[in-house]
A and B are shown apart, each in its own frame.
Chain A
Amino acid sequence: EAQVTQNPRYLITVTGKKLTVTCSQNMNHEYMSWYRQDPGLGLRQIYYSMNVEVTDKGDVPEGYKVSRKEKRNFPLILESPSPNQTSLYFCASSPYGPTQPNEKLFFGSGTQLSVL
C-alpha cells in the first residue's frame, strides 16, 4: 500500500531533550516536506526537500533540522525542543514537488508532540 509513515504517533518530552520524528514514504517520491498544524494558524511548512541531499527552509524553520540521505526517509530533528514547538506535525510527499502544477501531496497520519 502506498503510504507516508510517521513515527511516533504521540510524543511527550521535556524542554531541551533532543528528539527525532521519522518519516518514510514507499512511493519513490522525490519531494518531501514537513508541516506543523496549530489551532487558528493552519498548516505551515517547516522544511522541504526536492531530492536526496537537497533541503530548504519553509515558512517556520527555526528550531528544526532535517536531513535527506535517502530518497524514502526525511526525519525531522528538534535539537533542543521548547514548549512553543508543541504542535501536530505532518510529513508529506509528492512525485516531483511544486515544479509540477498538478502535484498533490500525500500526508502521513501525524505526530502529536508535547514539550513540557
Chain B
Amino acid sequence: EDQVTQSPEALRLQEGESSSLNCSYTVSGLRGLFWYRQDPGKGPEFLFTLYSAGEEKEKERLKATLTKKESFLHITAPKPEDSATYLCAVSERNTPLVFGKGTRLSVIA
C-alpha cells in the first residue's frame, strides 16, 4: 500500500478556473508534509512545508492546507505558467522523504 497517494493523476484547467489537488498519507508520526513543483525536464523545486493539522501556507496563487490524513494544494485563478507536475512528500522521524507519484497540471489559455 502506498504511503502517499496523490489525486488526480492529471488535471486540465482553463485559465482562471480554480481547483484543488489532493495528497493523502498513511504514515504515523508525521513530521512534515512537503509540496514540490516539477517542470518538464527539470528537478523538483520546493514550494511548502506543513507540520501540523490546520496549518496553511500561501504563495502567489497557491495555498496548501493540512489535515490529519491529507493535504490540499489549492490553485486560485491559475495561469498557463502554473502548468507543471506537483509532488507531495511526507517525512517521518529520521526516515527519508516518501514521495507521491504527482499530479500533472495543465492550464490552458
Please, what's the 1-or-0 string for B36-51, where 1 marks a CB less than 8 Å from any CB in chain A? 1000011111100101
- The 8 Å CB contact of A101, one of B36, B51, B89, is B51
CA distance A47 to B107 in the complex (A): 35
Please, what's the 1-or-0 string for A14-32, where 1 marks a CB less than 8 Å from any CB in chain B? 0000000000000000000
Interface flag for B34 (CB, 8 Å) = yes
Q: Which of A4, A101, A106 has the most CB of B within 10 A?
A: A101
- The 8 Å CB contact of A104, one of B34, B41, B87, is B34
Q: Does A33 lie within 8 Å of B101, measured CB to CB?
A: no
Q: Does A107 lie within 8 Å of B94, measured CB to CB?
A: no
Size of the chain A interface, CB-CB below 8 angstroms: 24
Q: Shortest Cβ distance from A37 into chain B, in angstroms?
A: 9
User: Interface range on chain B: under 10, 10 to 19, 20 to 34, or 35 or more?
Assistant: 20 to 34
CA distance A33 to B98 in the complex (A): 13
Q: Shortest Cβ distance from B2 into chain A, in angstroms?
A: 9
Q: Does B41 lie within 8 Å of A110, measured CB to CB?
A: yes
Interface flag for A74 (CB, 8 Å) = no
Q: Does A40 lie within 8 Å of B96, measured CB to CB?
A: no
Interface flag for B53 (CB, 8 Å) = no
Within 96-116 of A, Cβ neighbours of B (below 8 Å) are at 98-99, 101-110
A42-B102, A43-B87, A104-B49 known; A98 vs B43 contact (CB < 8 Å): no
Please name all residues of chain A whose beta carbon is closer than 8 Å to the beta carbon of B43 when the two chains form the complex. Answer: 4, 90, 92, 107-110
Within 53-109 of B, Cβ neighbours of A (below 8 Å) are at 87, 89, 91, 94-97, 99-102
